[in-house]
Copies of this chain bind each other. A is one copy, B any other.
Amino acid sequence: MKKSFNFIAVILVLLGFSLPTYSLTNNNCTCNQKNAEAVIKLIDEVWNKGNFQIVDQLIAPKYIIRHDPGDQWENKTIDLATYKNRVKMSRDVLPDQKFHIEDLVCQNDKVAVSWKFTGTQKGDLPGLPATNKTVSISGLTIYYFSEEKIIGHWQVIDKLNLFRQLRGETGKH
Chain A interface size, as a band, is 35 or more
How far does the Cβ of A74 sit from chain B's closest Cβ, in whole Å?
11
CA distance A6 to B26 in the complex (A): 41
Contact of A112 among B18, B22, B105, B158 (CB under 8 A): B105
A44 interface contact, C-beta 8 A = yes
A48 within 8 A of B: yes
Q: Give the residues in chain B near A110, CB-CB below 8 Å.
A: 103, 105
In-complex Cβ contact of A142 among B43, B140, B154 (8 A)? B140
Q: Which residues of A contact B (CB under 8 A)?
A: 18, 20-22, 24, 27, 29-31, 33, 36-37, 40, 43-44, 48-49, 67, 69-70, 98-107, 110-114, 125-128, 137-142, 154-161, 163, 172-173
| Further 4 A-B residue pairs, CB within 8 A, beyond A27-B106, A156-B158 | A21-B98, A24-B37, A105-B107, A106-B107
